[in-house]
């Protein structure tokens, strides 16, 4: 007796699902970022003459094409230099060191990771036990030994917070045989403003802003992916446009738009449908949003989760936007529920800034003049039900439904 496989291998929707992998797929042609590409090219062109590139600071929210554009430009830079060298002109020696700082929280950690990127496996340095001065000296020795033009790319560099030592050191390196350029990529618009004056002067020679995508731009990006990854008769304009519209209304994120269309394709395939419909997109939007919120909540520290939970309670009670001092009361009560001492009001503001950065809340700075002074107001930037569901699913915070109605 034959058994039926539980796997659905039908190919009626996707021709290549990997096209919808935001991290793994790099389009040969990058669209809807012409202005940023031109600015990037202008900043990097000195390298084609063997000169030091401009230090570049790039900023924009998640999903606005910063990393994709950087990879695209670096690929072109490598190819153009290869063509230049093959033509028999004065040879240009280019090395690119790319580091994602997502899990790094200090300049010291970034310096160690950069050093280990440049060293052989048997020469790796431990993350503890060395003086910072030694780490920087070894790093510059490695860079000097490489020689030529060295371009160091630090993605998500805002994770180092206000510790900008690494940026200052790299922008003014103590090396003789190499020419060093730095590209800093930040998801946080305010990160640049918090840099010390000396770092701004040297790092921010060229600045490139990546604004949120509009609905029409997201449509073009999705159609580019759909043409490469979906059967021609598996989609039409309506579901693609709806996926773009939902993402544009939310964060203007290409990542979110691509995720929604991919999930809609998965839903259609599971249902053995012949094409993706707007109903599939509606369902996919909820799936993607729940997954995004859950992932972000899990990435927060316990007190970051308590702060977000406090804001969700305030939102459910129609008490938002809410000032720090009022939010602190909700936060303190939640800490008591979890048998832990609340942090200071300043620490709460820091956690709320992080929650704003990842897109779950918005922070507005207010100035009420001499009478009211300066203060911050917070608002939830996703549906409160999504946050409550995510807390319940992840068990990150004990959810007491009565706290959403009763007085703390």
Both tokens of 376, joined, read 């911050």
Domain contains 21: no
- Is 62 annotated among the ligand-binding residues? no
- Is 277 annotated among the ligand-binding residues? no
Q: What is the average pLDDT score of the chain? A: 90
Do 332 and 246 share a structural domain?
Answer: no
Find how far residue 77's CA is from the centre of its chain.
23
Closest C-alpha among 51, 243, 66 to residue 149? 51
pTM given for the model: 0.83
Query: Which CATH number characterizes residue 120's domain?
Result: 3.40.50.300
Do 181 and 317 share a structural domain?
Answer: no
Domain contains 4: no
Of 296, 320, 348, the domain-final residue: 296
Domain contains 20: no
- Is 67 annotated among the ligand-binding residues? yes
Of 164, 188, 209, the domain-final residue: 209
Domain contains 2: no
- Is 213 annotated among the ligand-binding residues? yes
| Domains held by the chain: number | 3
pLDDT tens, position by position, 266-302: 999 999 999 999 999 999 999 999 888 988 898 899 9
Do 183 and 65 share a structural domain?
Answer: yes
Do 244 and 115 share a structural domain?
Answer: no
Domain contains 7: no
Domain that holds residue 282: 213-296
The helix-helix angle for 302-316 and 345-357 (nearest 10°) equals: 80
Query: Which CATH number characterizes residue 268's domain?
Result: 1.10.8.60
- The residue ranges of DSSP E strands in 134-279, in sequence order, are 148-155, 178-186, 206-209
Do 285 and 354 share a structural domain?
Answer: no
Domain contains 19: no
- Is 225 annotated among the ligand-binding residues? yes
Measured CA to CA, the distance from residue 386 to residue 273 in angstroms comes to 28
Place 1 in a pLDDT band, splitting at 50, 70 and 90: low
The CA–CA distances, whole Å, from 82 to 38, 94, 151, 304 equal 21, 10, 16, 48
pLDDT tens, position by position, 131-168: 999 999 999 999 999 999 999 999 999 888 778 899 99
- Is 65 annotated among the ligand-binding residues? yes
Mean pLDDT is lowest, of 185-194, 203-212, 231-240, 312-321, for 185-194
Of 209, 231, 262, the domain-final residue: 209
Name 183's bridge partners. Answer: 56, 153
Q: Is 26 helix (H, G, I), strand (E, B) or coil?
A: coil
Do 50 and 134 share a structural domain?
Answer: yes
Flag whether pLDDT at 25 surpasses 90.
yes
Do 227 and 129 share a structural domain?
Answer: no
Do 306 and 285 share a structural domain?
Answer: no
DSSP class of 96: E
Do 303 and 376 share a structural domain?
Answer: yes
Do 304 and 291 share a structural domain?
Answer: no
User: What residues contact 274, with CB distance under 8 A and at least 6 apart?
Assistant: 12, 233, 234
Do 35 and 120 share a structural domain?
Answer: yes
- Strand 206-209 relative to strand 361-367, pairing: unpaired
Do 317 and 288 share a structural domain?
Answer: no
Domain contains 250: yes
Domain contains 143: yes
Place 401 in a pLDDT band, splitting at 50, 70 and 90: low
Query: Which CATH number characterizes residue 369's domain?
Result: 1.10.10.10
Place 372 in a pLDDT band, splitting at 50, 70 and 90: low
């Amino acid at each position: 007796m034959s058994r039926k496989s539980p796997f659905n291998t039908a190919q009626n929707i996707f021709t290549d699902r990997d096209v919808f992998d935001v991290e793994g797929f790099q389009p040969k042609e990058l669209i809807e970022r012409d202005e940023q590409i031109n600015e990037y090219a202008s900043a990097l062109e000195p390298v084609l003459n063997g000169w030091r590139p401009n230090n570049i600071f790039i900023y924009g929210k998640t999903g606005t094409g910063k990393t994709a554009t950087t990879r695209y430009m670096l690929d072109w830079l490598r190819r153009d230099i290869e063509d230049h060298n093959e033509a028999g002109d004065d040879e240009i020696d280019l090395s690119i060191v790319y580091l994602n700082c997502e899990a790094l929280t200090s300049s010291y950690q970034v310096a160690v990771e950069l050093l280990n990127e440049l060293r052989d496996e048997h020469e790796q340095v431990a993350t503890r036990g060395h003086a910072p001065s030694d780490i920087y000296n070894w790093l510059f020795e490695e860079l000097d030994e490489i020689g030529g033009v060295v371009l160091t790319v630090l993605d998500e560099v805002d994770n180092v917070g206000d510790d900008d030592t690494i940026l200052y050191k790299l922008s003014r390196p103590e090396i003789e045989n190499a020419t060093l350029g730095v590209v800093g990529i930040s998801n946080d618009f305010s990160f640049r403003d918090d840099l010390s004056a000396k770092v701004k002067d040297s790092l921010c020679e060229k600045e490139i802003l990546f604004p949120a995508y509009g609905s029409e731009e997201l449509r073009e990006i999705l159609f580019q992916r759909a043409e490469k990854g979906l059967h021609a008769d598996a989609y039409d304009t309506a579901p693609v446009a709806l996926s773009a519209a939902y993402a544009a209304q939310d964060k203007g994120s290409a990542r979110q738009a691509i995720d929604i269309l991919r999930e809609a394709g998965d839903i259609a395939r599971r249902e053995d449908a012949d094409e993706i419909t707007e109903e599939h997109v509606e369902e996919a939007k909820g799936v993607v949003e729940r997954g995004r919120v859950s992932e972000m909540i899990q990435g927060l520290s316990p007190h970051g989760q308590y702060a977000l939970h406090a804001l969700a309670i305030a939102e459910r009670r129609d008490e938002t936007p809410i000032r720090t001092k009022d939010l602190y009361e909700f936060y303190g009560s939640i800490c008591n529920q979890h048998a832990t001492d609340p942090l200071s009001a300043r620490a709460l503001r820091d956690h709320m800034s992080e929650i704003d950065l990842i897109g779950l809340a918005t922070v507005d700075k207010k100035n009420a003049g001499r009478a009211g002074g300066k203060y911050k107001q917070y608002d939830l930037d996703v549906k409160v039900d999504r946050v409550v569901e995510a807390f319940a699913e992840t068990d990150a915070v004990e959810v007491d439904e009565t706290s959403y109605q009763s007085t703390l």
